[in-house]
Chain A
Amino acid sequence: MSRPTHGLRDWLLQRFTAVYLGCFLVYLMVSFYHQPPRDYQQWHDWITHPAMAIASAAFILALLVHGWVGMRDVVLDYVKTLHLRLLMLSLIALVFIGCGLWALQILLTGAG
């Protein structure tokens, strides 16, 4: 059983997502440092502002891709037993899917 490998595609994805994640995180840290949200209303209004909600959704998507490629590479490098490898990759994929859906739900219900 063989399937095409996507080494270059994954390598590029990892770089592009890295740039976005880095920029967003620096923005997040700077704005938190200068204006930490004082109460629920400020925090809610800031995070549900349409521009921020879109940027956050993109951040979560980029984080899922970046995290998956990274964790997969770590598992493939260190776990050599096939069964254990499949088990770990499945568990990690489940965590990513679960966290992604959870985060999406937070953003959607928060904005509603």
Chain B
Amino acid sequence: MPNQRAAPVFLNLFRIHFPVGAVTSIAHRISGVLMFLSFPLLIYLLDLSLQGPAGFDRALDYLHTGWLRAASVIIAWSLFHHLFSGIRNLLIDIDCGVSLQQARRSAWLANIAGLAMTLAWLWWIL
């Protein structure tokens, strides 16, 4: 094929430089999928917590185990990142902050705010 365009040959993820908006966007998807995966666990805990005082205490005991604390950090990041980048998406939908410079700034803001709230959650549960 003589007309084939010369494309960059490396597809090494560590060498491809993603623009910050791409990171925000893919993280929005990843966090959404992570929350989907956590549904059964969360509904189970809700169910348990409403099965009388004994169930409530058992749900609390579960929440204090190492595994669920670790899971809660991942869920907290997913929730906060999804919330912040989602608000960013909604604002961009109504033509708010569409210029490249503003969009980059809000992407950084969403990424950092998501991480900051995750740290706050970590501090809260430790």
Contacts and interface: CB of A to CB of B under 8 A. Distances in A.
B50 A110 contact: yes
B39 interface: yes
Interface string B49-60: 110110111000
B86 A22 contact: yes
B43 A106 contact: yes
Tell me what chain A mostly uses at the interface: helix, strand, loop, or mixed: helix
Contacts, number: 55
A25 B43 contact: no
B90 interface: yes
Given A22-B87, A102-B43, A40 B33 contact: no
B40 A18 contact: no
Interface in A65-109: 67, 70-71, 74, 92, 95, 98-99, 102-103, 106, 109
Contacts of A74: 29, 32-33
A17 B106 CA distance: 22
Interface residues of A, number: 24
A39 B53 contact: yes
A27 interface: no
A103 B46 contact: yes
User: Ordered nearest first, which 6 A-B pairs have the shortest CB separation?
Assistant: A40-B56, A40-B53, A110-B50, A99-B39, A70-B32, A106-B47
20 contacts: A18-B90, A19-B90, A22-B83, A40-B55, A40-B56, A44-B50, A67-B32, A67-B35, A67-B36, A67-B39, A70-B29, A70-B36, A71-B33, A71-B36, A74-B33, A95-B40, A102-B47, A103-B43, A103-B46, A110-B50
Interface of A: 15, 18-19, 22, 25, 39-41, 43-44, 47, 67, 70-71, 74, 92, 95, 98-99, 102-103, 106, 109-110
